[in-house]
Amino acid sequence: MSQPRDFRLTDGTVIDHLPVGTAARALELLGLPREGPITVGINIPSPSQGRKDIVRVEGLFLEKPELDRLALLGKHLTVTIVHEGTISEKTVLDVPERLIGILTCRNPTCVTNAEEVQTVFFKQEGYPYRFKCEYCERITEPGEAL
- Decide: 110 and 131 in contact? Cβ < 8 Å: no
By CB under 5 A, name the binding residues for Zn ion: 105, 107, 110, 133, 135-136, 138
Task: Kindly state the smallest distance separating residue 20's Cβ from Zn ion, in Å.
Answer: 31
Q: How far is the CB of 146 from Zn ion (least distance, A)?
A: 17
The CB-of-116 to Zn ion minimum distance in angstroms stands at: 14
121 vs 105: CA distance, rounded Å:
9
CB closer to Zn ion, 32 vs 139: 139
Nearer to Zn ion, 37 or 101 (CB): 101
Q: Report CA torsion sign: 14, 16, 21, 25.
A: negative
Can you list the alpha helix ranges (DSSP code H) found in the chain?
A: 23-29, 64-71, 111-114
Q: Compare residues 110 and 145 and give the one whose CB is closer to Zn ion.
A: 110
* Least separation in angstroms between CB 74 and Zn ion: 25
Q: Based on the number of CB atoms within 10 Å of its own CB, is 58 exposed (0-12), middle (13-18) or buried (19 or more)? A: middle
